Amino acid sequence: SFCTLLEGGRGGTMGSLFKARDWWQTRCGDNEEFDKRCLVLGNIDNDPSGLDKIVTGSFQGTLRIYQPKQKGYKADDLLLEQELDGPILQLAAGKFLSNSNHTLLAVLNPQKLVIYNVQRVGGAQEGSHDPLNRQYTLAKQYEQLLDRLAFNFVHGPFGQAQRDHVCVQTLDGKLNFFEQEKSYFTRYLSNPSSGSEKSFLLPGLLCYDAGIDSFITNTSTFEVECYRYSTFVSSSGSEDKDSEGKKLRCDWSVNVGEDVVDIQLCRFFKPSGNPTTEIVVLCDRTLFILKETGEIRQQQRLDYFPTCLVPYPLNQVQNIHNLIVGTQTASVMIYNDQKLLWSAKTNHTPVALGVVTLAKLEGFIVLLSDDGHLSCNYLGTDPATQPTQLLDTTRELDYDDMDEEHRQLQQLIRQAVNAGKSEPEDHITLQYNCPSQLDDCAPGDMDSTPGGGGKYCTVRLYVAYTGKEDIENAILTISVPQPFELAQSSILIERVEGGGAPQMLPLTFSMSNDPGVACLTPTSLQAEVICCYSSPAGEPLTSRCSFFLPMSLAGCAIPPVKNPNFKITLETNLAPPPLQVLFDDVIGTSGEAQSVNVLSFQYNNSSDVTILISKSANRCRIQASHFESLWLLTAELVRRMKIYYGAQNQALKIKYADSLPFQDYFQVVDTHFKARVQLAESQHKLSERAHQFRSIQKRLLVRFKDRNPSPLNNLDKLFEDTYRQLLSISEEVDRHQQSLSVASNVLVCATHLILLLVQYRFDMKKEDIKIFKHYLSPIVVDSPTQGWEECTDAAMTHLLRTSLAKTYKEAMSMPQPLQVPPDTNKLKKHIALVCDRLAKGGSLRNEKPPSKDQK
């Protein structure tokens, strides 16, 4: 059943139940590329029998002509294979000679348009068996040279001519009109709707509508425009970009809001009166049907990404067309009068489609992929090889068994719907062996001693697959927080043996060699490994694991110091264990005598932090010389106490009774915002000096090229002074970027600490603090337009308008636009207000705002 059998209304709406059957297929060369303009179908050699041929041209410059005559590819199906001079951008068949009605082949190269005549030389008569002696040649009729790089072309009877004219579009929007062998005129496309007549960004598709003698194209502003041919003829001022005169004006313009994939002309709807031609515009996610006047007759949202489009005649009497759309998921969709008739899978993703008659059979779908797979397909299924078994009608029906089977099937359907898609049983497992101590020596340096130069920690990662088949090309991605680094953050595993022994991979972590990164305070010790791979069935899967690096990699234990600049106190319901037990990995490698209740830790950037355990009360005090230094050791203390008491089956409860350190936290926020402002000011200053430098350069070049140069008037001194200023400001930008990097690191640590204290201050559950982290995010992104301050302020404002709103007036307040604020006063006020609402029992899960009756 071929595609011409799919008449309107007969097929109904189909899903992707069938696969397009391959009648004939081949590969057009190796490592060649094609697109939608590289395929032409027709009687290109003017054969009296009218048999169609398939013509392909690649970007590598190879032209091929095929004529399939039976199922399966044969050597004599390839009529011609010739390498042309330059890449083939587009092919077309038409009447391009003024003194002949023969069909010729137009080939567009980057700098010329060549017209060829495909001739058959020697051999037997057409239709007889002639696999060897038949030869085809290309006879060049004429060529048109282009002064600019070409993009595409369109042909047709422009101005109601008797034969085909050609219009070639270049990359800068220049249209070259050719009337057979001679050049007619040139025009430049403009886009007045964008605010400037001379503006042109990217070339678009070209389509000629002979019914209204107009050209349809698309622009980079997501618009479809129509230009009449008479407008091109009369617009004398468009021959040059800078010329004055009558400029081009489009006849109509439609904003489709998406990038256009293809434009075709057809009669898509059943005519109610006079038959009219529709303009089919295929976009990234929408199919538009436009009238010739520019009105949108229909638009249909697509649930796939299309690649190409081709109409084919369905009814020769009324000249009604169906549409075939190729998708990126290797499928073809067939539409008729607003309905999807058929959907079929293909072996390759099509970039060009066509419908052709081969071997006296109508309706073959010709498919060309971007890598050169060419095939002729038909729809439907192959005939059954076994006869259908007849039902035994003599046996009586057991309705009880039928009801029981129906109930079981209903239960299975409900379970499948509720459970969703289950994970496959066979998967890649990731296991690790993370040491608690550092390596004795650096990688590749067996003479290194501990405590000497750098610090290294090697984690052994074991990768295995539980299935029986092998997994190929698995990719490991390792994410490690700053200031730590890994020599290779992405690892390709060519083969993972199924059911075999685990494959061991050593991962050596160390401190960053970049001084600008090594001076940062660690934000976390947790590293994460993600493995991306494809199952034997081709399904993409992932596996992941995470582990904590040893504390010794971030610093070392030092003798107790007094640093009460910043301090916090945590209360527990159980007596804290000795610090030698909790931090045995840190104290055991320090070589310093440590007290049972005191531990001082110094980071690699020389900042220190101290833990004090109360002897009489269940309290832990953490104090540090810098506010951001409190975070990591506090988080490690809490994590290790939970592990310690969890092993003893005891429930640990932690509470923070003091007021939140908003003053210290807001000082960190102000420092980060000040660093952003300073960087923006220095970048603006650098832009101004660069503009000044270029202007002086242009003036100096003009004077040096002049035969009678005028005096420089100290322009050379101004040039040198501007250059020195550029160097000075560039160094200033580098310093401010480093300052912003440090301020962002401090803000990340401080935000993590505030979130931890908020959790224990208001006794929040894990689900609530997880939600709150999405609003007060510890992820700091230094963007010049949407930075952390404005995003956090918008999130806090949203909380105060929804979950934490007290009155209807607050819930109905309009949100402020997301822009860089002049200061951080509103942000600090909103953060304090949110924490105050949480202290008074506010819930983050209540998304329903107060009602209008509530005051």
Tokens of 215: 């050209």
Beta-bridge partners for 335: 323, 340
Which carries the bigger pLDDT value, residue 243 or residue 324? 324
CA–CA separation, 684 vs 689, rounded Å? 9
Across 516-524, average pLDDT? 89
CA 596-598-604 angle, to 5 degrees, is 125
Task: Determine the 3-state secondary structure of 550 from DSSP.
Answer: coil
Across 735-763, average pLDDT? 92
Confidence category of residue 452, pLDDT binned at 50, 70, 90:
very low
Most confident of 113-117, 391-395, 533-537: 113-117
Residues listed for the chain: 855
Query: So what's the pLDDT on residue 498?
Result: 87
Task: Determine the 3-state secondary structure of 426 from DSSP.
Answer: coil
CA–CA separation, 106 vs 112, rounded Å? 11
| pTM score of the predicted model | 0.53
Residue pair 760/570 in contact by the 8 Å Cβ criterion: yes
Q: Is the dihedral of CA 747, 751, 757, 761 positive or negative?
A: positive
Residue 250 half-sphere exposure, CB side, CA atoms within 13 Å?
Answer: 21
Q: Nearest-CA neighbor of 379 among 71, 53, 8, 22? A: 22
Residue pair 289/280 in contact by the 8 Å Cβ criterion: yes
Confidence category of residue 487, pLDDT binned at 50, 70, 90:
confident
Residue pair 289/338 in contact by the 8 Å Cβ criterion: no
Tokens of 322: 């169906």
CA–CA separation, 677 vs 309, rounded Å? 51
With 60 as the cut, is the pLDDT of residue 129 above it? no
Ordered DSSP codes for 130-167:
-TTT-EEEEEEEEEEE-SS-EEEEEEE-TTS-SS-EEE
With 90 as the cut, is the pLDDT of residue 316 above it? no
Confidence category of residue 853, pLDDT binned at 50, 70, 90:
low
Residue 796 half-sphere exposure, CB side, CA atoms within 13 Å?
Answer: 22
Which of these ranges, 86-100, 124-138, 426-440, 503-517, has the smallest mean pLDDT? 124-138
Query: So what's the pLDDT on residue 128?
Result: 47
Tokens of 298: 């229909």
Query: So what's the pLDDT on residue 131?
Result: 47
Confidence category of residue 108, pLDDT binned at 50, 70, 90:
very high
Residue 822 half-sphere exposure, CB side, CA atoms within 13 Å?
Answer: 0
Across 122-150, average pLDDT? 72
CA–CA separation, 759 vs 496, rounded Å? 43
The 3-class SS string of 603-645 reads ECCCCEEEEEECCCCCEEEEEECCHHHHHHHHHHHHHHHHHHH
CA–CA separation, 454 vs 444, rounded Å? 13
With 70 as the cut, is the pLDDT of residue 5 above it? no
Residue pair 470/495 in contact by the 8 Å Cβ criterion: yes
Residue with token string 């899903």:
15
DSSP 196: B
Query: So what's the pLDDT on residue 55?
Result: 95
Ordered DSSP codes for 738-754:
HHHHHHHHHHHHHHHHH
Residue pair 21/379 in contact by the 8 Å Cβ criterion: yes
Confidence category of residue 253, pLDDT binned at 50, 70, 90:
very high
Task: Determine the 3-state secondary structure of 796 from DSSP.
Answer: helix
Q: Give the DSSP H/E element, type plus range, for residue 40.
A: strand 39-42
Beta-bridge partners for 493: 474
Q: Is the dihedral of CA 715, 720, 725, 731 positive or negative?
A: positive
Query: So what's the pLDDT on residue 3?
Result: 44
Query: So what's the pLDDT on residue 542?
Result: 92
Most confident of 193-202, 441-450, 555-564, 724-733: 724-733
Across 221-232, average pLDDT? 90
CA 100-210-101 angle, to 5 degrees, is 10
With 70 as the cut, is the pLDDT of residue 819 above it? yes
CA–CA separation, 578 vs 590, rounded Å? 17
Residue pair 331/349 in contact by the 8 Å Cβ criterion: no
Across 819-848, average pLDDT? 84
Task: Determine the 3-state secondary structure of 383 from DSSP.
Answer: coil
CA–CA separation, 503 vs 496, rounded Å? 7
Across 636-651, average pLDDT? 89
CA–CA separation, 193 vs 9, rounded Å? 41
Other Cβ atoms less than 10 A from the Cβ of 128: the count is 8
| Per-residue burial over 720-742, b = 16 or more CB atoms within 10 Å of its CB, e = otherwise | eebeebeeebeebbeebbbbbbb
DSSP 3: G
CA–CA separation, 257 vs 273, rounded Å? 31
CA–CA separation, 332 vs 282, rounded Å? 14
Average per-residue pLDDT in the chain? 84
Other Cβ atoms less than 10 A from the Cβ of 269: the count is 18
Query: So what's the pLDDT on residue 740?
Result: 92
Query: So what's the pLDDT on residue 245?
Result: 46
pLDDT > 90: percent of the chain: 38
State pLDDT tens for residues 317-345.
667 888 999 999 899 999 887 788 888 99
Across 605-628, average pLDDT? 88
CA–CA separation, 523 vs 633, rounded Å? 10
With 60 as the cut, is the pLDDT of residue 840 above it? yes
DSSP 760: H
pLDDT > 70: percent of the chain: 86
Residue with token string 């129906």:
406
